[in-house]
Every structure is written in structure tokens, then in C-alpha cells.
């Protein structure tokens, strides 16, 4: 089983639509969660961190459910420019080395059309 699982999509939605992505993670010791955005043939860029209480940044809302080990990203009023791959990212504590590594999901592709 993968440590971070996402629906690969693609999600094809019209402009203005609301779309939600889900992600599950397997390591219950994970403490930090992120959504990254990756455009085709570009590097990933941090979209937002995900906090326990849920957080919102403009049209984007992230939620965390620790009991179910589940993270979501909601995009409202989709724009053409939102078309990208959205990566769910979870930290995995490495207590032996004192290092926290990030595990990247394979990503969910979003295509917003006119």
C-alpha cells in the first residue's frame, strides 16, 4: 500500500465549478500536511499547508481528518489557470535520524475548460 494515495483523475470541469480532491495517508505519526501544485513539466510549488482546524486561502479550502487519515482540497469557482496536477504531501517522522521527510502522492490532474 502506498504511503500517500490520491485519485489520479483527470477531473475535467467547466470554469466556475467547484471540485474536491481527496487524499489518504497511512502513517498515523504524520504531523504536517501540504498541497502542492505542479504544472506540466514544471517543478512542484507549495499551494497551502493543511492545519488541524482546516484552513482557507481565497478559493481554496483544505481539511484534515486525523482519525480517518484523510486530507481534502476544495477549489471553488474554478479558473482555467487552475489546470494542473495537485500533489498531496505528508511528512513521515524518522525518529532514528531526527529527520522529517516528505512523501509526495502521485497527484490528481485537474483540467478546467471554458
Partner 1 sequence: EADIYQTPRYLVIGTGKKITLECSQTMGHDKMYWYQQDPGMELHLIHYSYGVNSTEKGDLSSESTVSRIRTEHFPLTLESARPSHTSQYLCASSGLDREPAYEQYFGPGTRLTVT
State residue 82 phi and psi, 5-degree precision: -80, -10
Between CA 107 and CA 8 the distance in angstroms is 6
Q: Dihedral of CA 41/43/48/49: which sign? A: positive
Window 55-84: residues binding partner 1 (CB under 8 A): none
Nearer to partner 1, 19 or 47 (CB): 47
List the one residue from 9, 17, 22, 44 that touches partner 1 (CB under 8 A): 44
Contact between 113 and partner 1 per CB under 8 A? no
Question: Applying CB under 8 A, which part among 15-23, 28-36, 71-79 lies near partner 1?
Answer: 28-36
**Up-side HSE of residue 24: CA atoms within 13 Å toward CB?**
7
Do β-strands 70-75 and 19-25 pair in parallel, antiparallel, or remain unpaired? antiparallel
Question: Applying CB under 8 A, which part among 14-22, 67-75, 76-84, 95-103 lies near partner 1?
Answer: 95-103
Output the smallest distance, CB 36 to partner 1, in A: 9
List the one residue from 16, 42, 54, 57 that touches partner 1 (CB under 8 A): 42
- 108 and 7 in contact (C-beta within 8 Å)? yes
Neighbours of 92 (CB within 10 A): 18
Name the residues that contact partner 1, by CB under 8 A.
31-32, 34, 41-46, 49, 51, 87, 91, 97, 99-102, 104-107
Amino acid at each position: 500500500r502506498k504511503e500517500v494515495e490520491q485519485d489520479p483523475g483527470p477531473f475535467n470541469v467547466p470554469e466556475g465549478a467547484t471540485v474536491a480532491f481527496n487524499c489518504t495517508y497511512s502513517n498515523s505519526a504524520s504531523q504536517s500536511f501540504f498541497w502542492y501544485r505542479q504544472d506540466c513539466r514544471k517543478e512542484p510549488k507549495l499551494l497551502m499547508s493543511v492545519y488541524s482546524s482546516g484552513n482557507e486561502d481565497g478559493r481554496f479550502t483544505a481539511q484534515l481528518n486525523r482519525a480517518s487519515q484523510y486530507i481534502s482540497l476544495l477549489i471553488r469557482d474554478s479558473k482555467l489557470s487552475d489546470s494542473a496536477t495537485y500533489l498531496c504531501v505528508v511528512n513521515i517522522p524518522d525518529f532514528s535520524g531526527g529527520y522529517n521527510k516528505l512523501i509526495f502522492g502521485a497527484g490528481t490532474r485537474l483540467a478546467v475548460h471554458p
